[in-house]
Chains A and B, each alone.
Chain A
């Protein structure tokens, strides 16, 4: 029961973050909302494992945390420099 309630609450909060990601006036609002979605995805995976009685998905939650972190830096770098590779010399 408690896991169901928690899952529902996290899903509602993810929907709110998604609205901000769609609305966000600047690109940074969108990045922030997507990063927040990632954190909530980790929580959702953890709680969902307990809800279904198979808490083996926690490895996926770990991987999602790292992916979220690195993905955010990658997007920020792309926004700043416009390339995924080495940044141009004059902007470094």
Chain B
């Protein structure tokens, strides 16, 4: 039983580390503030959540586990609020989101249908902000 819990804890901790690394690399590599917020959200939710749950399994049903749950709850409560405040503040200051320029369909004759397909599958505002 203890062996199974140890293995489960290993898996959770390592997956948490992986997501932390994904978030940190995204923080370095992504082009602007808003996309970096998205990367930081991965660290705050998946990374912290998995690592803390792995530690809870190690701690067992003790007071330490309760404290870990409180830390996790606080992180899950505060990180979306601070992400929202940061994005709102950046928008207020006029930081422009990074936008990929769509190729002009008129510039390439013969690529009409392709251009139509790309504009049809273009920006979908419903998906904006669905992450985090």
* Chain A interfacial positions (CB closer than 8 Å to B): 2-3, 5-6, 9-10, 12-14, 16-17, 19-20, 26, 28-29, 31-33, 35-36, 39-40, 42-43, 46-47, 50, 55, 58-59, 61-62, 65-66, 68-69, 72-73, 76, 79-80
Contacts and interface: CB of A to CB of B under 8 A. Distances in A.
A82 to B, nearest CB: 12
Interface of B: 9-10, 13-14, 16-17, 20-21, 23-25, 27-28, 33, 36-37, 40, 43-44, 47-48, 51-52, 55, 58-59, 64, 67-68, 70-71, 74-75, 78-79, 81-82, 85-86, 89-90, 92-93, 95
Binding site secondary structure of chain B: helix
B28 A65 contact: no
B55 A50 contact: yes
A8 B98 CA distance: 33
Closest 5 CB pairs of A and B: A9-B17, A16-B24, A13-B24, A69-B78, A58-B67
